[in-house]
């Protein structure tokens, strides 16, 4: 039985290990709908019931994909989706968190997902053109209307988190967190813990780099967005491959896979932390579930701290 945790102090309960569904629609190369649906069904069998999507994944197709499972299994899933990043016909992206758009986006997501309520609704990115107080005020109206149960933010600063919390209860803050992205430990995690907000770690496997499965850019499909990521560039590849090698060595010593070692470390960062690795494949989903059984001694954690300090990766996250 998958461990359940209270994500923040507002009453939201989720599986300790969740599932990021972004890659089932785009970004990480081609995917197959039948395979995606089979993976989602297997996630439920494993107790991985906290699912993360967004209206901009696809765009829109990811929510529709999840809706096919939700039609039969809605009560078994803790559903999180997001608004705030819009896309045009050419793929260009823009931020929009105006109150009127928040309401419009929520209604559209509810329709695509085939549900009458979203468990956790995130602002995908803070819109610098709209005071966060106005956006969160509109989100709180959705809770009052029964369309949303809990509110979340993604990639918000400590100050923005505080300002949002002054308007309405925030249950979760989602930000990248992994062995090569530990910046949240300085200010973000202390802030969420002070305010009773849960933490959702996305890309806990370094967008796949820390699994040991990527040896060069040639291992990625030509449509894979990671080819444009600074950490996957030719100039940064050698240094970052050395980081992946450390994970491989640590995992071999523990008789686990590199993915399990990297993910297991994130899962030990606190009872208020859940992780949402993404995958399209049942075998990787099952491998990720095995990370739940990994513990670390004080000596092992000290070794990891020495190998993976803040800022160790070559290249920025975006």
Per domain, the residue ranges of the chain are 4-207+260-296
Q: Average pLDDT, stretch 24-40?
A: 94
pLDDT (0 to 100) of residue 93: 95
Between CA 69 and CA 24 the distance in angstroms is 14
Tokens of 137: 């005020």
pLDDT (0 to 100) of residue 140: 98
Which residue, 257, 169, 162, is CA-closest to 208?
257
Q: Average pLDDT, stretch 272-280?
A: 97
Question: Is 0.95 surpassed by the pTM of this model?
Answer: yes
Q: Topology of domain 4-207+260-296, per CATH?
A: TIM Barrel (3.20.20)
Which residue, 203, 250, 207, is CA-closest to 229?
207
For residue 89, pLDDT beyond 90: no
- Cα first-last separation, the chain: 36
Tell me the pLDDT band of 228, cut-offs 50, 70 and 90. very high
Strands 198-202 and 172-176 turn out to be parallel
Between CA 134 and CA 199 the distance in angstroms is 23
User: How far are the Cα atoms of 65, 76, 77, 161 from residue 73, in angstroms, in the given order?
Assistant: 13, 5, 7, 33
3-state secondary structure of 151: strand
Tell me the pLDDT band of 29, cut-offs 50, 70 and 90. confident
Mean pLDDT of the chain: 97
User: Is 177 among the catalytic positions?
Assistant: no
Q: CB count, 10 Å around CB of 249? A: 14
Crossing angle of helices 158-165 and 132-144, rounded to 10°: 40
Q: Average pLDDT, stretch 56-85?
A: 98
Catalytic member of 57, 122, 202, 284: 57
Q: Kindly state the helix (H) or strand (E) to which residue 120 belongs, with its residue range.
A: strand 118-123
Which residue, 62, 20, 54, is CA-closest to 207?
20
Beta bridge partners of 142: none
Q: Average pLDDT, stretch 51-76?
A: 98
Q: CB count, 10 Å around CB of 275? A: 28
């Amino acid at each position: 039985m998958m461990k359940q945790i209270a994500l923040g102090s507002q009453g939201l309960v989720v599986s300790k290990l969740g599932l990021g569904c972004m890659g089932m629609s785009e970004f990480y190369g081609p995917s197959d709908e039948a395979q995606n649906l089979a993976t989602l069904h297997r996630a439920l069998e494993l107790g991985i019931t906290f699912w993360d999507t967004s209206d901009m994944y696809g765009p829109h197709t990811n929510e529709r994909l999840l809706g096919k499972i939700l039609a039969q299994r809605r009560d078994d899933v803790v559903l999180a989706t997001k608004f705030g990043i819009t896309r045009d016909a050419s793929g260009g992206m823009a931020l929009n968190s105006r109150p009127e758009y928040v309401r419009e986006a929520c209604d559209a997501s509810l329709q695509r997902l085939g549900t009458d309520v979203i468990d956790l609704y995130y602002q995908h990115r803070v819109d610098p053109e709209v005071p966060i107080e106005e956006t969160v005020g509109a989100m709180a109206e959705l809770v009052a209307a029964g369309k949303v149960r809990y509110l979340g933010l993604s990639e918000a600063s400590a100050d923005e988190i505080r300002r949002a919390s002054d308007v309405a209860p925030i249950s979760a803050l989602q930000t990248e967190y992994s062995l090569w992205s530990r910046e949240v430990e300085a200010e973000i995690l202390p802030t969420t813990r002070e305010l009773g907000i849960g933490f959702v770690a996305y890309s806990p496997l370094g967008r796949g780099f820390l699994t040991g499965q990527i040896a060069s850019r040639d291992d990625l499909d030509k449509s894979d967005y990671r080819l444009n990521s600074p950490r996957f560039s030719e100039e940064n590849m050698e240094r970052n491959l050395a980081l992946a090698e450390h994970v491989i060595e640590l995992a071999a010593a523990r008789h686990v896979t590199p993915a399990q070692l990297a993910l297991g470390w994130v899962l030990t960062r606190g009872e208020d932390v859940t992780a949402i690795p993404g995958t399209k494949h049942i075998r990787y989903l099952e491998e990720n579930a095995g990370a739940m059984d990994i513990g670390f001694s004080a000596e092992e954690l000290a070794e990891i701290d020495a190998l993976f300090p803040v800022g160790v990766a070559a290249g920025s996250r975006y």
